[in-house]
Each structure stands twice: as C-alpha cells, then as structure tokens.
Structure 1
Amino acid sequence: MRVLVAGATGAMGKQLVPRLVDAGHEVFAMIRSESDKARASQLGAVPVIADALDRAQVEAAVRQAAPEVIVHQLTAIGHIDTRHFERSFAATDRLRIEGTDNLLAAARAAGVRRFVAQSNGAFTYTRTGGPVKNEQDPLDRSPVSQMASMIAAIEHLEKAVLGAAWTEGIVLRYGAFYGPGTSMAPGSEQFEMIRKRKFPVVGDGGGVWSFVHIADAAEATVAAVENGDRGVYNIVDDDPAPVAEWLPELAAMLGAKKPMRVPRFIGRLAAGQAGVVLMTELRGASNAKAKRELGWHPAHPTWRQGLQVSQPR
C-alpha cells in the first residue's frame, strides 16, 4: 500500500517508517523543510514537504503522495514541565487540532481509505473507578486546569478521526513511551533525575502508569495500518503499575538509591497539580482489545524487562 506518515522523523517515525518499508509498503514522509529530506530518505521514505498547520501545503503533499493510508504521528513534545503542563503541550495541542483537521480535509479530497492517528492512553483516562481502563471508559471529564487543554485536544482529534464516515478512522492510545529517542532512554534527563534522587514518589504513589516500548508501539501501528478496523485501541504493555512500584524498581535498575517520598502538598509546590495527578491519581490501560483485534503482542510485555534490557551494559 501507499502510506503517508506525518511526523515521520520523530521518535515514533524513526521506528515506524522502516517497519512499513520492510513490510512492503511504499512510504511517503511528510516533512516540514528541505533539511529533513535526507533523514526521511535514510529511513526509506519518499519525502514530501508541508507544514502541517498550512492546509494548502498539506493538501498539495497528500495529492503528491496519493496514499491509501495516512498515519498521523504529529507531535512537538520536548521537555515536560509539570508545573506548566499546558505550556509543554501547547504546540502538540495545536497539531492535534489544526494539524488533524488539515490532514483529514486533504485525506477526504484524495479518497484516503484509512486514517490512523496517535492519541494518548497514558495520561488521559478518567481518574475514578478501577485502576485499569479499557477503550470504552471515558477520558477525564474534570481534569486539573493544567491538563485541560491537552485532554481537550485529544478529544478533538479522536472525535474528528472517528467521526469521518468516509474513511476507516483508527485511534491509537499509546502508553508512556520508553526506548530509543524517548524521554525514558539511557542518558535521558528523566533517568538522570532518578539517579540524582530528584524524582520523588509523591503521596502514596498510587498513580497507575501504562508503558510501551517505542518499538512495540511501532509494530502495533503497522498492524493497525494493515489490519485495523474503525475504532480506538490502547497500545500499552501487559503490566500497568503504580508509581510507588515502578519508580523504585527503575531506580534500582539505574543503580540509584531508593527515591525519596514527599507529601502531596510538597509535590504540588514542586511539580504543580498536574505532577500530583500523574503521581497519585492516574489510571492505567488494558491492551486486551489490541491483542485480540490487531493480533499484536508486545515483544516487551513488561517495562520491568524492557527497561532492564535497554540499560547500557
């Protein structure tokens, strides 16, 4: 199939594009500038240039590629400051709203039959009820103020993609990424904070995280491109775990001392309301649907194994 990947040179794109090529697909990479052409070509894709926020450019790029499938992996997430969570996600929120609308408009004009989009299943589910959510559970209906715009952008993307009756809209709610090119990789700022005991457990550390290795997420995306049906899929590993469990275990993997514990009010001062939510109230996600319907099984079924093998020896 002819597949256009928007966001082809990011952490996910670097994993996804070569896998699509190896699977026999003709892959086009939507990039912002001439300077990205070499990187796209090295991944095995044909570069097409467009700013995702410029509808005319996006429509021209999609016409040029004439894809059967579009994969929307556009993000602009750098360092996340939990005290100012909304600032950290502002550029990505715009891509998830305006970028999604532009890609969908171009896809409709070009007759694209399948549209696969990146969503977030790590930080967005309702914070009530059981610790692990499935795709039928709602997103957070009363988010703290710093997280409201991020969740609103996710909701916009999902409604737009799933509501496009003229194509097969597929939403992939990825867990928290780890592995090459992510914020949880050997030498990353986050790992260094853990090593230096600057990443404490806040409150009871009861927030449940669902992780996924970036390579496993890419494999799931290939499965969605080839086999997915309209709908939402959680793309996470088999082992959702509370912060009080995974953070000390990761510290031990890194050869660091056990993380400090601080009360919620101290955590709020240091990391803001969003930081406290991530540490104490988050809900995890189930991957049962993706396994059942996509035929996908993560090669790293648990972060305990995946993070261990990713450490330098």
Structure 2
Amino acid sequence: MRVFVTGATGALGRHLVPGLVASGHAVTATTRTPANAAGLRAAGAEPVVLDGLDREAVIAAVAAAEPDVIVHQMTALGGVRSLRNVDKVFAATNELRTRGTDNLLAAAERAGTRRVVAQGHSFVYEHSGGPVKSEEDPAVAEPPVASAARTLAAVRHVDENVPLGVPEGIVLRYGTFYGQGASDHLVDAVRKRQLPVIGGGAGVWSFIEVADAAAATLAAVEDGVPGAYNVVDDEPAPVAEWLPYLAEVAGAKPPMHLPAWLGRLLAGGFFVEQMTAARGCSNDKARRELGWVPRFPSWREGFRAWAG
C-alpha cells in the first residue's frame, strides 16, 4: 500500500517508517526540518518537507502521494520537561492535534484516502470508577485542572473527529512512551531524584515501549475496524509501584515522597492529578482485533532493557 506518514522523524516515526518499508509499503514521510530529509530517504521513504498547519500544502502533498493510508503522528514535544502549565507546554502540539488533524482529514477527502490512523493518548479517560479502562469507558468531560483544558480538548478533537472524518478512521490511545528516543528525560529526572512519589502514588499509569507502539501502528495500517484502540502494555501500575522500580533499575536512589499539597506548589495540579488519580488501560481490544502482541508485555522487563 501507499502510506503517508506525518511526524515521521518523531520518537515513534523513527521506528514506524522502517517497519512500513520492511513490510513492503511505499512510504511518503514528512518532516518540518529539511535536514531530516536525507535520513528519511536512507530509511527507504520518499521525504516531504511539510508544515502540518499549512492547509493547502498538506492537501497538495497528500494529493501528490495518493496514499491508501495516512498516519498522523504530528507533535511538537521535543524538550518538554515541566507539566506545571500544560497548555503552554503543549500549545504547538495542540495546534497540530486540532488544525493539523482537520488539514489531514480534508486532504484525505480530496485524495480519496479511506483510512487515517491517528495518535491519541490514554489519559483521555475519566479519573473515576475502576483503575483500568477499556475503550468503552467514558472520556474525561472536564479537565482536572484549568491549565490543561486546551490540551485535553485537543486530544478529544482527534479522538472524536478522526473516526467520523473518513470511512476508516482509527485512533490509537498510546500509553506513556519509553525506550530508545522516547522519555529519556524521565530517567534523568529519576537519577537526579527530581521525580517524587506524590500523595501516596495511587495514580495508575499505562506504559508502552516506543517500538511496540510503532508495531501496533503498523498493525492498524494493515488491519482493524474503525474506532479507538488502547496501545499499552499488559500491566497498568500505580506510581508507588513503577517509580521505585524505575529508580532501582536505573541505579538511582529511591524516589522522595511528597504530600499532594506540596506537589501542587512545586509541579502543578495536572502532574499531581496524574500521580494520584490517573487510570490505566486495557489492551485487550488491540490484541484481539489488530493481532498485535507487545514485545515487552510489562514495563518491568521494558524498563530494565531501556534504563538498566
């Protein structure tokens, strides 16, 4: 098939593009940076330098490529360190998730592309009810803190519009990325004891190793009915369990513990909400309908391979 990949030089794209090429697909891969074009060509893709917010340029590039599938991986998350003001940190990514998504859906309609596979996120779920969510559980209606309102609205924009915008719209609700080229700052923060367990660490996180996430994306390019899929490993875990383990395998001292009120002062309300009230996700649907099996079924062996 002809596959048009946006955000192809991001953490996931760097694994996805070679996987698509190895599977026999003809890949057109976009980047905002001309210097990245040679690397994409070396990986076997046809590079296109493209600003995802330039509607006419996006429509023209997709029309020229005539893809069977568009993969939407556009973000601007390089260098993110603090989540104190989420909307400020994610401002550029929010534009790519709203205007950029609309541009790709318009391009798909013009080009007759039936399938769009888009990057979502597992923190879309309400922080209530049971600790592990399936795709049938409700998305968050109101942001837990005002400073994350635009970011959560942008995630919902992808979640709601991609399945409606094309005949075969798929949203992959990725867990927290780790692994080669992804979240290295997380290990740095753990080694510097800058990532504490806050308020007891009852928030449940779902992780996914970045190459496993790329494998699930490849599976969604080739198969799967329209809708949403949680792309996470098999073991959702509370912060109080996974964070000390990450410190151990990274050779760091155990994380400090802070009360929630102090965490809010130092790190902001959104981060405290994630550390104390987040819900994990089940990957049963992705395993069943995409035929995908993560290489690292648990963050335990994945963390050891990554940070150890």
Q: Using structure 2 for the length normalisation, give the TM-score.
A: 0.97
Match of 1:243 in 2: 239
Q: Is the 1:84–1:272 contact (alpha carbons within 8 Å) kept by the matching residues of 2?
A: yes
Q: Which amino acid aligns with 2:193?
A: R
Distance in 1 separating the partners of 2:215 and 2:94: 25
Match of 1:150 in 2: 151
Match of 1:108 in 2: 109
Shift of 1:167: 2.4
Aligned CA RMSD, in angstroms, stands at: 1.1
Task: Provide structure 1 residue ranges, at least 5 long, that are not aligned to the other structure.
Answer: none
Match of 2:177 in 1: 177
Secondary structure of 1:153's aligned partner: helix
Match of 1:10 in 2: 10
Match of 1:77 in 2: 77
1:252-303 per-position Cα deviation (integer Å, ceiling 9, x unaligned): 1111121111101110011110111111010001000000000101010000
Q: Which amino acid aligns with 2:278?
A: L
- After the TM superposition, which segments of 4 or more aligned residues of structure 1 sit over 6 Å from their partners? none
1:110-164 per-position Cα deviation (integer Å, ceiling 9, x unaligned): 000211000001x221001000101111221121112211110011112211112
Q: Using structure 1 for the length normalisation, give the TM-score.
A: 0.95
1:278 is aligned to 2:277: no
Match of 2:283 in 1: 287
Q: Which 10-residue stretch deviates more, 221-230 or 29-38? A: 29-38
1:44-193 aligned at under 5 Å gives the runs 44-78=44-78, 79-121=80-122, 123-143=123-143, 144-164=145-165, 166-183=166-183, 188-193=184-189
Q: Is the 2:132–2:280 contact (alpha carbons within 8 Å) kept by the matching residues of 1?
A: yes
1:155-188 per-position Cα deviation (integer Å, ceiling 9, x unaligned): 1112211112x420000000000001111xxxx3
Q: Is the 1:49–1:61 contact (alpha carbons within 8 Å) kept by the matching residues of 2?
A: no
Shift of 1:311: 2.9
1:199 is aligned to 2:208: no
Distance in 1 separating the partners of 2:297 and 2:35: 37
Q: Which 10-residue stretch deviates more, 39-48 or 259-268? A: 39-48
Distance in 1 separating the partners of 2:64 and 2:221: 20
Going from structure 1 to structure 2, the CA distance change for 1:33 and 1:267 (only over 3 Å counts) comes to: closer
Q: Which amino acid aligns with 1:173?
A: R
Percent of aligned pairs with the same amino acid: 54
Distance in 2 separating the partners of 1:192 and 1:101: 36
1:38 is aligned to 2:38: yes
Q: Is the 2:246–2:307 contact (alpha carbons within 8 Å) kept by the matching residues of 1?
A: no
Shift of 1:220: 0.4
Distance in 2 separating the partners of 1:194 and 1:31: 31
Shift of 1:33: 4.3
Distance in 1 separating the partners of 2:277 and 2:182: 23
Q: Which 10-residue stretch deviates more, 234-243 or 191-200? A: 191-200
The number of equivalent residue pairs is 306
Distance in 1 separating the partners of 2:45 and 2:130: 43
Distance in 1 separating the partners of 2:307 and 2:255: 19
Q: Which 10-residue stretch deviates more, 100-109 or 192-201? A: 192-201
Shift of 1:196: 2.1
Secondary structure of 2:228's aligned partner: strand
1:216 is aligned to 2:217: no
Q: Is the 1:30–1:61 contact (alpha carbons within 8 Å) kept by the matching residues of 2?
A: no
Task: Provide structure 2 residue ranges, at least 5 long, that are not aligned to the other structure.
Answer: none
1:176-214 per-position Cα deviation (integer Å, ceiling 9, x unaligned): 00001111xxxx332122112221100010010000000
Q: Which amino acid aligns with 1:154?
A: V
Distance in 2 separating the partners of 1:291 and 1:139: 21
